Amino acid sequence: MSILLTRRFFAFGAATLLFAAPGTRAFAQTSGADAFVKTFATDLVAIVNGPEPAAQKKAALGPVIDRDVDVSGVARFCLGRFWATATPAQRSDYTTLFGRVLLNQISGHLGDYRGVSYTLTGDTPQGSNTLVGTTITRPNQPPINVQWVVDGSSPTPKIVDVIAEGTSMRITQRSDYGSYLSQHGDSIDALIAALHRQLDNQS
């Protein structure tokens, strides 16, 4: 069984908006969360469509992801109940690896989503979060509905989840990690080793 759903988390979620084409239509009454998601997409599109080589684009993507995605929060959520039993060193190693895998998966698909466009469809409050709806249109494929979960509880909004056609990517990731850990003696070191192997395979 594979534990490495970071590809699914972003290829099915973030990459769809990440590679949105310019000229998309914004929702009529743009809220703060809508504007945040639109800015996130615009900045990433500028990097993706730029003339720079892949390595330079990857270097430029990192700060944008760090700025707008709560990578450490998503990493902690995905580890679930095992976060409480992890040592400080394990938490640090795991979170760092999660972020590196995440960035590698995004940068590894820079050329896969050309011609994709999106439409903002409005937002829905959900506690301290806001779900920003989008409809993603892809060449020769049916459109898909994607919601971006924006955490507004802190002064700086952050993306904390992507819900694609009703499926939460971080919940799916947590379930997969939990299954892997239960099959490997609840060993967080085994998960860390698996993430190291994934990075080695991505290099």
Residues 190, 184 contacting (CB under 8 angstroms): yes
For the cut 70, the answer to whether the pLDDT of residue 181 exceeds it is yes
CA 109 to chain CA centroid, nearest Å:
13
Select from 177, 178, 8 the least CA-distant residue to 102. 8
pLDDT score of 91: 98
- Domain ranges, ordered by start, for the chain: 6-202
| Residue predicted with more confidence, 82 or 141 | 82
pLDDT band of 18, cuts 50, 70, 90: very low
For the cut 80, the answer to whether the pLDDT of residue 70 exceeds it is yes
For the cut 50, the answer to whether the pLDDT of residue 25 exceeds it is no
- Would you state the CATH architecture of domain 6-202? Roll (3.10)
112 C-beta neighbours (distance < 10 Å), count: 10
Task: Taking residues 55-75, report their average pLDDT.
Answer: 90
pLDDT band of 192, cuts 50, 70, 90: very high
Task: Taking residues 27-39, report their average pLDDT.
Answer: 71
**Lowest-confidence region among 8-12, 100-104, 109-113, 195-199:** 8-12
Select from 37, 2, 5 the least CA-distant residue to 173. 5
Nearest-10 crossing angle of helices 88-107, 188-202: 30
User: Per residue in 119-149, pLDDT tens?
Assistant: 888 889 988 899 998 887 767 778 888 889 9
pLDDT score of 180: 94
For the cut 90, the answer to whether the pLDDT of residue 194 exceeds it is yes
For the cut 70, the answer to whether the pLDDT of residue 2 exceeds it is no
